[in-house]
Amino acid sequence: MRLLLLALILSFIGLSYACKGNFNPYTTTIGQCGSTDRTDWLPTDNAPVLTPANLDPAELAVHEARMDHILAMGTALKRKFVASIYHQNGTLMCTGVNMGKPNIISHGEIVAINNCTELHGITVFTNYTLYTTGEPCAMCAGALVWADFKTVVWGTYNSDLLCKICMSNIPMDSAYIFGRSYGLRSSSTTLIGGVRRAQADAFFGSYCSNPNSIYYIQPKCACTPQ
Ligand SMILES: [Zn+2]
């Protein structure tokens, strides 16, 4: 009986000290693994996301005007996910709208990238900024990292799209993906979230009482009263 009790206490202590994953900074080599090593990813923080409060007024005004443009496009076309791509010299190069065509992965960002390639032959987007009404989903964030965008700007956050607006989405902040660009290159994308946030949130509206919508899903989110 005493042994059983001891075993229980020891396993309880073990559990309380158990970490997520097996990363131990004192015993892990960071870098190229040897042929007999067990390999794992480097624990990585999400990328930082700037907000309008972090920007100087002149820069913010430029982002707001460009966000207004795609929100107006979406309103006119009755489509929610619209993206635009600007050269760093300020030229609007192309736009993209999620029309559900030619297939279900034709999100605004992907359409805009493909339009820029078709129209202008752009294959890498190092000198470009992408604007999107809604934060890039996990798929698009991955595409934007591969495309090497200099800056990505969005209106409504993924967490709000799923948790408050009841639109189906992969429950992941794009900053999770953008924070892992070190696997491709040393430079990283500047992220600016919540530009014209109130207007963008109102533009998306709410699908929570519209379960017949193609966008609708019942959210499963962790909610904290503020
Ligand atoms: Zn997407």
Contact 154, 169 (CB under 8 A): no
Cα-to-centroid distance, 119 and ligand 1 (Å):
21
Cα-to-centroid distance, 83 and ligand 1 (Å):
10
For the chain, how far is it from start to end, CA to CA, in angstroms? 49
- 115 has pLDDT over 60: yes
Contact 113, 95 (CB under 8 A): no
What's residue 16's pLDDT? 47
What's residue 24's pLDDT? 84
Burial 76-106 (b: 16+ CB within 10 A, else e): eeeebbbbbbbbeeeeebbbbbbeeeeeeeb
**Which two structure tokens, joined as six digits, stand for 193?**
């979230």
Rg value, the chain, Cα: 22
Least confident of 6-15, 51-60, 142-151: 6-15
Contact 120, 143 (CB under 8 A): no
What's residue 27's pLDDT? 86
Number of residues assigned to the chain: 226
The residue-averaged pLDDT of 154-167 equals 98
- DSSP calls for 76-123: HHT-S-EEEEEETTS-EEEEEE--S-SSTT--HHHHHHHHHHHHH---
Cα-to-centroid distance, 138 and ligand 1 (Å):
7
What's residue 206's pLDDT? 97
Q: Dihedrals φ, ψ of 213, to 5°?
A: -70, 145
- 2 has pLDDT over 80: no
Cα-to-centroid distance, 134 and ligand 1 (Å):
9
Confidence of residue 222 (pLDDT cuts 50, 70, 90): very high
Cα-to-centroid distance, 140 and ligand 1 (Å):
4
Please report the domains of the chain, with CATH numbers, ordered by start residue. Answer: 49-204 (3.40.140.10)
* Strand-strand pairing, 92-97 and 151-156: unpaired
Cα-to-centroid distance, 205 and ligand 1 (Å):
18
Q: What is the average pLDDT score of the chain?
A: 92
Cα-to-centroid distance, 107 and ligand 1 (Å):
5
Contacts of 16 (CB under 8 A, 6+ apart): none
What's residue 15's pLDDT? 47
Cα-to-centroid distance, 221 and ligand 1 (Å):
19
What's residue 26's pLDDT? 87
Cα-to-centroid distance, 10 and ligand 1 (Å):
47
7-54 tens-digit pLDDT:
555 554 444 455 556 778 888 888 999 999 999 999 999 999 999 999
**Which two structure tokens, joined as six digits, stand for 190?**
């500047």
User: Shortest CA distance to 150 belongs to which of 100, 95, 89, 219?
Assistant: 89
The residue-averaged pLDDT of 167-178 equals 97
User: Shortest CA distance to 97 belongs to which of 76, 126, 117?
Assistant: 76
Q: Is the pTM of this model over 0.85?
A: yes
- 160 has pLDDT over 60: yes
Contact 165, 134 (CB under 8 A): no
176-218 tens-digit pLDDT:
999 999 999 999 999 999 999 999 999 999 999 999 999 999 9
